[in-house]
Amino acid sequence: MASPEEFEAAAARSKELPAKPDNTTLLKLYALYKQGSEGDISGDRPGGFDFKAIAKYDAWAGLRGKSQEEARQEYVDFVNSLF
């Protein structure tokens, strides 16, 4: 499993990607980072026309039940695969 230091290093490295990832990749990065750093999502799903917030919520909620350690390792592996 990835250590918290490896996780944060991958987060910093993700900001140095050679090209801007597509929206699907960005949502996966966001969801894995949030699950790895905070655990399961809490709170209500955004409503209205804030489609960006809804997409982010849904992506994170899709990882509900995945352990933080598992999410951190998956995040590190995913960031590394983008290079």
Could you report the per-residue pLDDT of 11-56, keeping only the tens digit for each?
999 999 989 999 999 999 999 999 999 999 999 999 889 999 999 9
Map residue 31 onto helix, strand or coil.
Answer: helix
- Cα torsion through 51, 58, 7, 83, rounded to 10: -60
pLDDT at site 27: 98
What is the pLDDT at residue 11?
Answer: 97
Position 68 confidence tier, pLDDT thresholds 50, 70, 90: very high
Q: How far is CA 7 from CA 12, 23, 32, 50, 61, in A?
A: 9, 21, 10, 29, 20
Q: How confident is the model at residue 72 (pLDDT cuts 50, 70, 90)?
A: very high
Residue 46: which CATH number? 1.20.80.10
Number of domains, the chain: 1
> How many helices, marked H, and strands, marked E, lie in the chain?
4, 0
Which structural domain range is residue 76 located in?
Answer: 4-81
Model confidence, pTM: 0.94
pLDDT of residue 83: 93
pLDDT at 58: 98
